Amino acid sequence: MRSTRLRQPATIRKALRVAATIAAASTGVLAAMADEIKPPPWPYATVPAAIWRTVTLPATPEGKAASDEVLAKDTIGWPHVSTSGVKLQWHSNSKIAGSSFKIPASKAGEMVLVVGHIHSPAVYRAQPYLFRVTGPRGDVYVNGNLLSVKSSKDGVTISEWHTHKTRGGGLNRVVLKFAGGTTGQVKAELAEPGDIRFLSTIPANFDPARHVGDFKTVSITNGIVNAELAVPDNERGYYRGNRFEQAGIVLHLSSGGHTYFLEAKPPYAPLNSHASVGPAEEFFDAIAWDDAMVGEPFIKLGVGLFERPFDVISHAWYNNYWPLQQFSWSTKATANTVEFVQDVPPVRGWAYHYVKRVVLVPGKSIMRIEHELTNTGTHTINGEQYAHNWVTLDGMGPGRGYSATFPFKVTTDKDYSKVANIEGSLVRVIGTDTTNLKLFGWEPKASDNEAVIRCAGTPAAIKISHDFPLSAGTLFFNDTAICFEPFHAITVRPGETAKWTRQYEFLVETH
């Protein structure tokens, strides 16, 4: 994989590092003030010609359809055959050492597409990021969006191109489109602080077409409950996103002839960070973030090592940061238990040993997820883990009469009456709009960290409970699933071990 990151002058890097340090040590007003620090104008740096590939498409409806595919939003790669049947013969610039390249010869009526990829951060400073193309006039697209341009003697300049990106940043396709018969040399330049990468190939952990459908699984049973789990694998795993932990993802679970979770069904996207099933877990905040300078690694606990970008705001769970390393898990299964282990060596003194067990309790219709987190580093680990419990009872989505009952009288932060009815400790879901209903009214005790989810269309129900108090709680639902999301604040000092358990009881109720 060839990747080029444009680097800014040392004076700008120093200013940004100082600003990042201020933000890491401050909150509120100081952090806001740090974000207002504007560096000197960023100079243009050339985009290597080697990252581009070109293709010439015929002047036919099929050629136009193939062009539309390449220009589609949220797509990456270089397709070889379009759905319209056109073979795309890509020509590489990999042997060009400089920044300028020649537009390949074409005929009138044809079109030439010049395609490259960028990985960009999700958060940008207020200063404009400028993209400049020198050469024949053409159109510029980022993530399927046609950008407005301004012509000058220096070529075509596109301001605010970075606002056209995938959700949370990440990898985007950039396309230069030229009319058939256009000739000349092309050079692209970019002015930005130094965290944009141009890629001449697609890294394996970004390629959505790599190892789809050949993921490994492991099955366990206690004679009552049957479960199939995904085996963590950074090359072939069912889920390879940068958000949820790979360990513990339940693909299918049944008990007493009923199913209780959103299940893995094709098609699926292993690199979609927000798409998972079962009781997917995530550590909401990063560790080793506050002491990381821009360009240095931080840890997403249970997931991997990522690079802190050139901004001065706090970590955001949904951002697609540049991945430095996906942490591996070892997997060991018995008849009714799967144990996952992850060891992370020190990163500036941050390190841990993490054990997760999924246990089907003998003789009962119960599954437990047991956790042990040992701090093997020299800094205290403060984190907050939650489970995005994707519940669908017998495959019924919201809109089929779901409700959740809690041990406390539910209060909320705003009016949710258009999507839910709240009657004391009972929340009835009446809509399917994506909703994140924040739960209040609970006390900080384990007995309040519980929910029973039911659906009017089935006797199946699920009771979710814990051996720890809530630090926060939400009831998330959309047109796919209903999810009780219990958060757990964890503090682990060096040499100590924290333990906590989530329990799922699979019920069949008769009335």
For the stretch 309-344, pLDDT in tens is 876 578 888 788 899 999 999 999 999 999 999 999
* Whether the predicted pLDDT of 70 surpasses 80: yes
Assign 7 a pLDDT band (cuts: 50, 70, 90): very low
Q: How far apart are CA 222 and CA 176, in angstroms?
A: 58
pLDDT in tens, 361-386: 999 999 999 999 999 999 999 999 99
* Most confident of the following: 72-86, 110-124, 273-287, 445-459: 445-459
- Segment 209-218 shows an average pLDDT of 88
Contacts by residues 125-129 (CB-CB < 8 Å, ≥ 24 positions apart): 125/35, 125/38, 125/39, 125/193, 125/310, 125/311, 126/38, 127/38, 127/39, 127/41, 127/42, 128/159, 128/160, 129/42, 129/159, 129/160, 129/161, 129/162, 129/190, 129/191, 129/192, 129/196
- 167 pLDDT band, cuts 50/70/90, is low
Q: What does the pLDDT average to over 46-59?
A: 94
Helices (H), 201-262: none
SS3 232: coil
| In contact, 200 and 209? CB cutoff 8 Å | no
Check residue 69 and give left, alpha or beta (phi > 0: left; psi -120 to 50: alpha): alpha
pLDDT for 56: 96
Q: Where does the pLDDT of residue 3 fall: very low under 50, low under 70, confident under 90, or very high at 90 and above?
A: low
Number of helices (H) and strands (E), helices first, in the chain?
A: 3, 36
Is the pLDDT confidence value at 25 over 50? no
| Dihedral sign (CA 201, 207, 209, 215) | positive
Task: Write down the pTM of the prediction.
Answer: 0.85
Which one-letter amino acid corresponds to residue 221? T
Per the structure block, which two tokens stand in for 68? 């539309």
Question: Nearest 5 degrees, angle CA 442-CA 446-CA 449?
Answer: 50
pLDDT for residue 152 is more than 80:
no
Q: What region, left, alpha or beta, does residue 74 occupy, with left being phi > 0 and alpha being psi -120 to 50 degrees?
A: left
Supply the pLDDT for residue 273.
82
Give pLDDT, residue 99: 92
Q: How confident is the model at residue 8 (pLDDT cuts 50, 70, 90)?
A: very low
Q: Residue 272: its pLDDT value, please? A: 82
Place of tokens 């590489």: 92
Six token digits for residue 167: 């959700």
224-280 pLDDT, tens per residue?
999 999 999 998 999 998 899 999 999 999 999 999 999 988 878 888 888 899 999
Residue 135 has pLDDT above 90, yes or no: no
- Rg of the chain taking only CA atoms, in angstroms: 26
Of the listed ranges 68-82, 188-202, 476-490, the least confidently predicted one is 188-202
- Among 196-210, 289-303, 413-427, 493-507, the minimum mean pLDDT is found in 196-210
Extended beta strands in 18-138, E state? 45-46, 53-57, 91-92, 100-102, 111-120, 130-134
- Comparing 26 with 155, the larger pLDDT belongs to 155
Q: Torsion over CA of 341, 224, 281 and 264, rounded to 10 degrees?
A: 110
Residue with tokens 């009972």: 426
pLDDT at position 35: 46
Lowest pLDDT segment from 198-207, 273-282, 421-430? 198-207
Bridge pairing between strands 155-159 and 130-134: antiparallel
Given a cut of 80, whether residue 32 has pLDDT beyond it is no
The Cα–Cα gap between 91 and 106 comes to: 13
**196-225 average pLDDT score:** 88
Q: Which of the pair, 25 or 312, is modelled with greater confidence?
A: 312
pLDDT score recorded for residue 425: 97
pLDDT of residue 286: 94
The pLDDT mean for the chain works out to 87
Predicted confidence at residue 30, as pLDDT, reads 38
- pLDDT for 138: 87
Please tell me the predicted confidence (pLDDT) of residue 187: 92
Tokens standing for 13? 């890097």
